[in-house]
Amino acid sequence: MLRRFPKGRLAVLAARSGGISSEDAVAAAAQNVEQMRDESDKVLTQTVGALEAMIAALRGDALSEGALAQLHADADRIVSLSGMFGLETLNRVARSLCDLLSALSAAHIHDSSGVVVHVRALRLMAPGAPAMTPDAEATILAELAKLVRHYDAPTHS
């Protein structure tokens, strides 16, 4: 085994005098990101629309491996963007969809009905949708969790 101690250019540059404190760096980064909130909302809306279009195209047919992968990529994107911009309920629905897709993949289940319900919930929570009461949000999240548990159950594996 060869053990080496390379000093990369990042280390050399970072060690120069001057620079920025972690607090200032994080604050400036957060400010830069915040400036992209409106654009992010548009991307989120488009991504939910893409999921709806994919589900509509299925017309109740089984999910193919390709469809599962694309759904997963889109759901992951919603998790990422909603998390970055503090859209907590949308984030939780998207994470639930990711959990469901993982359970379906692991159990080789191609039933799309649980996915359809999740995509409808995403639309209800998407930017621009009418605000819901906390109770209504909690009810939806609880029902989605039941769905995930159903498909994640050992009988399906």
Q: Which is nearer to other proteins, 63 or 81 (CB)?
A: 81
Q: What is the separation, in whole angstroms, between the first and last Cα of the chain?
A: 42
- On whether the CB atoms of residues 106 and 155 are closer than 8 A, the answer is no
**Residue 54 CB, nearest distance to other proteins (Å)?**
17
**Residue 133 CB, nearest distance to other proteins (Å)?**
26
Note whether 81 binds other proteins by CB under 8 A.
yes
**Residue 29 CB, nearest distance to other proteins (Å)?**
3
In this chain, which of 68, 71, 79, 126 binds other proteins, going by CB under 8 A?
A: 79
d(CA 115, CA 54): 11
Q: Which is nearer to other proteins, 55 or 71 (CB)?
A: 71
**Residue 60 CB, nearest distance to other proteins (Å)?**
25
Q: Name the one residue in this structure whose structure tokens are 């599962």.
A: 68
In this chain, which of 48, 98, 121, 140 binds other proteins, going by CB under 8 A?
A: 98
Contacts within 8 Å (CB) and 24+ apart, 59-67: 60/112, 61/112, 62/110, 62/111, 62/112, 63/104, 63/110, 63/111, 63/112, 63/115, 64/110
Q: Which is nearer to other proteins, 30 or 136 (CB)?
A: 30
In this chain, which of 52, 54, 58, 72 binds other proteins, going by CB under 8 A?
A: 72
Q: Which is nearer to other proteins, 73 or 136 (CB)?
A: 73
- On whether the CB atoms of residues 138 and 88 are closer than 8 A, the answer is no
